[in-house]
Chain A
Amino acid sequence: MHPENLSEVLRKHPFISDLEDEYLQTLLSCASNVTYSDGDYLFREGEEATKFFLIRTGKVALELHASERGTIRIETIGPGEVLGWSWLISPFRWHFDAIAVEDIRAFALDGKCLRTKCESNHDFGYEMYKRFSKILEHRIKITRLQLLDVYGLKRVERA
């Protein structure tokens, strides 16, 4: 795909729709188009976190393995959302498995490449951290809501 076209399409993703052009170019230099099929793993727990994804279509489920309970899916990341923040925060390892539950089209951003750019250009690094801390804050908020188990089984009172 021509770099200009990729730039237009990338610009449309909610994560970076208001990013300054200069920084968009930086991201572009580390970006590529990727696709996955239903059932593919995008990454696995423990692996080095070398990239993050801007999902365009389809959804990805995060999985945890709890031995007696088997595999639990705890969250899905869908179109317009960002998958993966471990590339930015040491020890740069994935904490979950990520599996495509539909066919996926996404942008993959090279984390190692971007980390180097953050180190050399702190303004760019600050932009990245601002955006990712917002994502993390949101994830914490909704995770806490899930923890509350609002639909949970209620105690049945006896006479």
Chain B
Amino acid sequence: MIPEAAVMNANLIDPMVPIPVRIQKLVWETDNVYTLYLKPNGEFKSGFKFSPGQFNMLYAFGKGESAISISSNPYKANTIIHTIHRVGNVTTALSQLKKGDYIGLRGPFGSSWPLDEAIGKDVCIIAGGIGLPPLRPVIYSMLRNRKDYGKLYILYGARSPLDLLFRVELEEWGKLFDVEVLVTVDHGDTSWKGYIGVVSELLNYINLDMNNTTAMICGPEIMMKFTIEDLLEKGFPENNVYLSLERNMKCAVGFCGHCQLGPKFICKDGPVFNFPEIRHFFEKKEI
């Protein structure tokens, strides 16, 4: 994880200076989640390279920056994709921009999902809500190198059917014979014929090979906490559990101190962690 990220970062021009990149389009996914498609230019002209799990700092002119996971296909370096939850000043400012506008971009930063460690194993992806975008690059990578991996399970939960992200892609992935996609919502109406309930319940309907599976989990922290508890209760080895954390980031390079969780800087030691690394401090009240 870390060596990959370090190689990435050595290629950065200057990690502290945002590079202007152009918006190719802005698409609303739900009423408060939108996706930005960005054209790499300037120093990124030859394509934007990143590892799945890494994030960029996106700058809205005069307003500030926000740390957003990269959601593009690592093998399609000519578009940078970010799916963003509109929740504060910066993400609101970015959401008001249009095709042709420019935003600032610094990155990529952080550690990445354990695609190398998972070679030869089954992979179980568990995503909740806005946690699916940071995992999408993993799915792209795995499908591109399909024979390197065993079974692929994608378990996804959202608030309601209207809040499901990437619905078309989920359905496409589900059609592949060696990929199992299960989707659940917290509640639905009579047109919803999928599962209803918390995402960890979906584990009841698949038959994981406990000792030969890598779990990659992303979503609201409390969802990750309960999902991991359930996995461990079922006998899943904690060494095979990986999760992606989030904190309010200001600098993204380990100087400002804001993103610390115990001894870990989520911007440079994470955001992807192997569960035992952070177990002691994870989800402890007010840590």
Contact = CB atoms under 8 A, between A and B. Distances in A.
A158 B129 CA distance: 23
Contacts of A142: 197-198, 200-201
Interface residues of A, number: 32
Nearest to A14: B204
Interface in B155-201: 157-159, 163, 184, 186-190, 192-198, 200-201
Main secondary structure, interface of B, reads mixed
A159 B53 CA distance: 30
A73 interface: yes
B205 A79 contact: yes
A8 interface: no
Contacts of B158: 151
**Chain B interface extent, by class:** 35 or more
A130 interface: no
Nearest to B223: A150
Interface of A: 38, 59, 61-63, 70-76, 78-81, 101-102, 142, 145-146, 148-154, 156-159
Closest CB pairs A-B (n = 7):
A151-B129, A151-B159, A101-B193, A150-B220, A76-B196, A73-B188, A145-B198
Interface of B: 32, 85-89, 92, 128-130, 157-159, 163, 184, 186-190, 192-198, 200-201, 204-205, 219-220, 222-223, 226
Given A78-B205, A150-B220, 14 more contacts: A61-B196, A73-B196, A76-B184, A76-B194, A76-B197, A79-B205, A81-B204, A101-B194, A149-B159, A150-B223, A151-B130, A151-B159, A157-B88, A157-B89
